[in-house]
Structure 1
Amino acid sequence: MTFSIVGRCPESGQLGIAISSSSIAVGARCPWVRAGVGAVATQNVTLPALGPQILDLLENGSSEPAAALEHALGANEWSEYRQVTVIDSQGRTAFFSGKEALGTYHAVAGKQCVAAGNMLAGVEVIEAMVPAFEQATGTLADRLLAAMHAAMAAGGEAGPVHSAALSIVGEPSWPIVDLRVDWADEDPLGQLDRLWHAYRPQMQDYVTRALNPTAAPSYGVPGDE
């Protein structure tokens, strides 16, 4: 019901996730990002708690992605129903697909990225994502979305896609990108792409407004002078 990619930009150090699903509001349950730490996608029969658990293990420095993933899954009796991908702040990766994952499922690690999915039209959907990410140019968001579009071009999910999300962290402690299409009858990924292109020119301005309001530009809204 879901396909996703987690990735890191070696130039900016940004970490992020792009994800889509046939289920409603995939962005509320599946993508987990933490500045300077890592990104985790928890999917299939989703256990949202795995995201924070794995990020906590990475943050305290006691685990690399593979060990953090194994530890978190080992503490849960239903791990064979989960599909999880992890990338840390150094670009190291790990992934897991339990034997109870739904339909056709697959996962592939690439250079500073991991793509995974379940209920797929075919394994080629995931195999298309990694080269698309690696060969794309632009920001991390642009590269993550390029991978998602490559997945759709390769067949996408076995059924219709209804929700999509894009989450990215950079230097601030909060996500600098947190965009969601919680439900759409048609083309939620296209809607997410349009959201990103509308938000991209303003992204740094919102960071500036948070860190130094006196340097922030005005958007001409009531009370914003």
Structure 2
Amino acid sequence: MTFSIVAVDVKSKEIGFAIASCTWDAGMVGTAKAERGALCSQAQGYFPFHSVLYEKLEEGLNLEQIFEEFKKIDEDIENRQVGMVSFSGEVFAFTGSRNDDYAGHIIGDSYACQGNILTGPEVLEHMSKAFESTNGMLAERLYAALQAGDDVGGDIRGKMSARVLVKKKKGSDLEDTFIDLRVEDHKEPVKEIGRLLEVRRKILKAYLSMQKVIESEGEDKIDALKEMEKFLSDKVDRTVIDYHSFLADTFLKLGMEEKAIKAYQNVLTIGPKMIRVIRKQTSSGEIPNSVFERIVD
């Protein structure tokens, strides 16, 4: 019913999975924990496997031994399909004998692809090749694999949902989530994941550009600000409106009024109602009246 990939990048310390299916919330059958492991349990996914994986990893069992523990708690193991990786790079996959054709798995260096009710073995073969030949963050490599499988047929029943989850210590929240993208009830869920990754990439670049400005001083600060301005010049859209605001405020504080005015105008192009915020900044004296008049001219 599903095709997925679990993987770890030991060098970047990222671990996670990508999955797509014709069912709602396909991603719920996957799990990952930073510096621990990742698992996809599909074809009638069995959720108790999730907690057992982490408990047994903590006890020092390897993945093959952990699968033996799965068999002890699941009398329907031959209905299941499992792909697992540990943070050390160990990989394990299993396709039960009662899975519907085409079903199978491929194990590679620090990853495993698995799927059932697929158009054929080419789905997994293309996933494997795409993962191995793609550079970049783990999320981008997972997505490339998922898209490659989707492009050659994927799930024979159609498309509905997809998810990419990557965990990394100090990722972005208390659960070490680095990236978690989900798409539900979409005609092209995998392609939509790709679009969201592009948006995230743009926002991340804007954020890193802003941090460089904040951390720089003197001429280096001005150079970083101009670099950020160049990056944002063709990105006047809602995803980066806060970064245009930061650009405007910083230019103004540095006495670069012309550039500040242009940046404030970009903010208003994206969100006309931001005039309220700019008026407030003017009332408080943060923006001179003469500059405000030129912004709205």
Using the size of structure 2 for normalisation, the TM-score is 0.66
Measured on the aligned residues, the alpha-carbon RMSD in Å equals 2.3
Give the SS at the match of 1:198. helix
Alignment partner, residue 126 of structure 1: 124
The residue that corresponds to 2:43 in the other structure is 44
2:73 to 75, 100, 111: 75
Q: Which structure shows the higher helix fraction?
A: 2
Measured after TM superposition, the shift of residue 118 of structure 1 is 0.3
Partner of 1:192: 193
Which protein is bigger by CA-based radius of gyration?
A: 2
> Which one-letter code corresponds to 2:92 in the other structure?
A
Question: What letter corresponds to residue 191 of structure 1 in structure 2?
Answer: E
Q: Which moved more, 1:42-51 or 1:115-124?
A: 42-51
The SS at the match of 2:107 is strand
- Alignment of 1:31 with 2:27, yes or no, is no
Residue 205 of structure 1, CA deviation: 9.3
- How far 1:142 moved relative to its partner? 0.8
Higher relative contact order, structure no. (Cα contacts within 8 Å, ≥ 6 residues apart): 1
1:1-225 aligned at under 5 Å gives the runs: 1-27=1-27, 29-58=28-57, 60-172=58-170, 173-184=175-186, 186-202=187-203
User: Once the 2 structures are TM-superposed, how far is the Cα of residue 115 of structure 1 from its aligned partner?
Assistant: 0.1
TM-score by length of 1: 0.86
Q: In the alignment, residue 69 of structure 1 is paired with which amino acid? A: F
CA distance in 1, matches of 2:7, 2:205: 20
User: 1:11 Cα shift?
Assistant: 2.1
Deviation at 1:203, TM superposition (A): 5.5
How many Å separate the matches in 1 of 2:201 and 2:62? 32
What is the aligned partner in structure 2 of residue 212 from structure 1?
none
5+ long unaligned stretches in structure 2: 208-214, 216-241, 246-270, 278-297
Q: CA contact under 8 A between 2:10 and 2:87: conserved in structure 1?
A: no
Structure 1 gaps of 5+ residues are 207-214
How many residues in Structure 1 have an aligned counterpart in Structure 2? 211
Native 8 Å contact 1:121 1:158 kept in 2: yes
Q: Percent identity?
A: 29
Higher strand share: 1
Match for 1:53: what amino acid? V
Determine if contact 1:176/1:203 at 8 Å carries over to the other structure.
no
Deviations 1:31-64, CA, capped at 9 Å, x for gaps: 1000110110111111122122212211x14211
Q: Is the 8 A contact 1:33 1:175 kept in 2?
A: no
CA contact (8 A) 2:84 2:112 kept: yes
Helix, strand or coil at the partner of 1:33: strand
Q: How far off is 1:88 after superposition?
A: 0.3
Distance 1:153 1:61, change over 3 A: same
- Secondary structure in structure 2 of the residue aligned to 1:86: strand
Distance in 2 (alpha carbons) for counterparts of 1:157 and 1:84: 17
